[in-house]
Structure 1
Amino acid sequence: MNSETKWVGSFSVSATNLTLTNIQFKNETILIKLNITLGGKFIRIKFSNLYGSLPLKIKEACIYSENLVYSSIFFNGNHETVISEKEEIYSDPLEYTVNSAENYWLGIYIENFTELSTGNFSLLSYYISEKGNILNELKNKDTDILHNSEYRNYLVPFITNVEVNNEIPCSSLIIFGDSGIANGWHSHLIKRFQINNILNIAVLSQEINGNRFLHSCPDQLKGLYGSSGLSRFERDVLKQNGVKFLILFPGINDLISSCKTTDTSLSNGTDIINALKICSTLAKENNIIIIGCTIPPVYGCKYYSDRLENIRITVNQWIRDSEDFDSVADFDSFLCNPVEPEKLKKTFDNGEYFYINDTGVKAMAECIDLKIFSEK
């Protein structure tokens, strides 16, 4: 491995507290699908016990491809490791070639009773084996492993990052926001990158369902929706290795919170705008190119009101007119009904007047001006 090359993120999720799921593991193998978005000849993986109240013991771990190219993962030269509560660690660098055109899986064997405390809700999937360590079966290219395991969806347990070390200059694009942007649209953005021969930029997912910029998750949800966007911005954006671009999406959850208070600064969107300004300033101080995103129509949301709509219009107009961003992805203008701009276009509406359908999700990727990735 060339010591002069740098680590760059190729897969990521934002860590949240998952204790509310009440999921537990004992003498089981977890198989996690990895959405690798940038190739490399060396990899390392970040394991997280950020929200754990007890040490996390990993007995053994591996990575393997859909073609069953297998490699063990080591920690300071050992198969097993113990991660202290509130801590995260990297695996040893591993010579293992990955590329964005192939599917990869991470295998983790948990021997002792372990509570799922740290991870992320995601569109990805994972599997749980029948009792025992099945990593040796993977090593022996047993193609029936997944079929004999219990399929589970929408969770990424215990890992937050996969980084690659490459011989050519590479960087990453971070997508930061809430569930409004954690809807799979960036898979279409990755396809646009590939079609337009933008092959040296990873796409990293730092969105959290239910997340808010201004406030952390309510106590009764035990951190499931994450700490506030402002408080996690340093960890999830500034401390990511190789980040050069940022897509910043304010989302609807702060608007909903604003409409539940009589505070004037919130009711007119001032605090949301100020939070976006802070993020923009921090990004620019770290030489990160930032793309601001407007908020799509939210008519049909059970919290919808004229007040909420006025805040959305105010925040969106500031995003369009602001000099705080290097570029703007105007999701609102692209997705709204021109006659009734508080509503989605029918072609993008899944029938519930609020949730964007697959056509709309794909259209969100078309809002991103790719010139910014080739000119900078």
Structure 2
Amino acid sequence: MFTAAWTASPQLPAEGFTPNWSREGFWRQSVRQVVRLTAGGGRLRVRLSNAYGTSAVRVAGATLGRTATGAAVEPGALRRLTFQGAAHTEIPARGQIVSDAAELAVAAGERVTVTLHFDAATGPATFHAQAFTASYRGEGDLVDHVRAEGFDAVTESWYFLSGVEVDAGRTDGIALFGDSVTDGFGSTPGTDRRWSDALAARTGRPVLNAGIGGNLLLNDSAWYGEKGVHRLRRDVLEQAGVDTLVVLHGLNDIGFSETDAQPTYKPAPVVEAEEVIAGHRELLRQARRRALRVIGCTLLPFGGSDHWGEHAAKVRHQVDAWTRCAGEYDAVVDLHRALAGPQDPDRLRASYDSGDHLHPNDEGYQVMAEAVAGLL
């Protein structure tokens, strides 16, 4: 039985926060992507998503291997991927495919490299904007190359790759669902220091990161993905081996109306606590239909950030009070109190602040993981 060991939530092609290749897509190029697994096994398969493509995408060849350094793969640890026995495949428009299983022994915490060759124009690419780790592009067919030469362009997004599964036979996976805090914004790029990474290391359980930077619980966005109440099924409930959902969501719904720095989402609706709570109840309803244990998190302190204002402060307080006291979640982690500063509980503790007063740094993400681990 296969278990999801890594995922990235698909997004509509867009400019995003940093330069990426999603709008231009690929043609006669190879894309090499590195991911860190949270479960080990002897066989692996990959999941490719064309969720936002309007035509099929041809994959001319694909490999999977154990990562060496940068774009290099360990010699002797590169495997050809097949799809229903064929070396090439098509990802249908608005669909996804799963490769055949490849024999490669990996341990939890190891990184693997997936390389895809596109010999025909893909058009705009379904992607995940914020990877916080490097992906590489080279001209021509480089899928069998173990060396880094030829991969001369770098970005920090993932393209078409939405999951890696291993034959672990585990059913104790944890999915973290939320926005940029879950995605890992503020962590050190290239070091896998998101709170999902820290939680996997702390618990020894598979942990899936279903965060999207800028995501909203209640509204869709061109840059920030489908609203949380719609994407939960695809990004969490359909993943293999998950039995626990951890929800940290709603901060952007509350805070976007306070900031002038969101050019793709203006005017942002001014939401009330009752609307955010209704969104959480919809997540709970969907998750319980799949018999998941659901843990709710209070929102992190964000005083002093561009999301802060009088209305946001009021709504945040009301939503957190409901999360703590309503008894609707199976368990509650009070991340607000865990990360609050000693002098001002509405602000992140300085030692946990990445610098924008909104996102934690590596130390703050470790504290979040420890707080959740205590309830597992």
* Cα 1:50–1:295 shift into 2, 3 Å: same
Q: 1:1-376 to 2 correspondence within 5 Å?
A: 6-20=1-15, 21-66=22-67, 67-68=74-75, 69-121=77-129, 122-129=131-138, 131-138=139-146, 145-146=147-148, 148-166=150-168, 168-183=169-184, 184-193=194-203, 198=204, 201-217=205-221, 223-257=222-256, 266-267=271-272, 269-372=273-376
**Secondary structure of residue in 2 paired with 1:173:** strand
User: Separation in 2 of the partners of 1:86 and 1:115?
Assistant: 13
TM-score, structure 2 length as denominator?
Answer: 0.86
Alignment-mate amino acid for residue 56 of structure 2: P
Which segments of structure 1 move beyond 4 Å, counting only runs of 4 or more? 257-263
Alignment check: 8 A CA contact 2:302 2:347 kept: yes
Identical pairs, percent:
25
Alignment-mate amino acid for residue 192 of structure 1: R
Alignment-mate amino acid for residue 124 of structure 1: T
Q: Point out the structure with max Rg over C-alpha.
A: 1
Which ranges of structure 2 fall in alignment gaps of 5 or more residues?
16-21, 68-73, 185-193, 259-266
User: Separation in 1 of the partners of 2:170 and 2:323?
Assistant: 31
* Cα 1:295–1:59 shift into 2, 3 Å: same
* Cα 1:307–1:45 shift into 2, 3 Å: same
1:213-246: CA deviation from partner (whole Å, max 9, x where unpaired): 10011xxxxx331111001111112111111011
TM-score, structure 1 length as denominator?
Answer: 0.86
- State the superposition RMSD in angstroms: 2.0
Alignment-mate amino acid for residue 25 of structure 1: F
* Cα 1:124–1:286 shift into 2, 3 Å: same
Which ranges of structure 1 fall in alignment gaps of 5 or more residues?
1-5, 139-144, 218-222
* Cα 1:214–1:128 shift into 2, 3 Å: same
Question: How far off its partner does 1:152 sit?
Answer: 2.2
Question: How far off its partner does 1:19 sit?
Answer: 4.5
User: Separation in 1 of the partners of 2:14 and 2:59?
Assistant: 18
Alignment check: 8 A CA contact 1:19 1:118 kept: no
Alignment-mate amino acid for residue 98 of structure 1: V
Matched residue count:
345
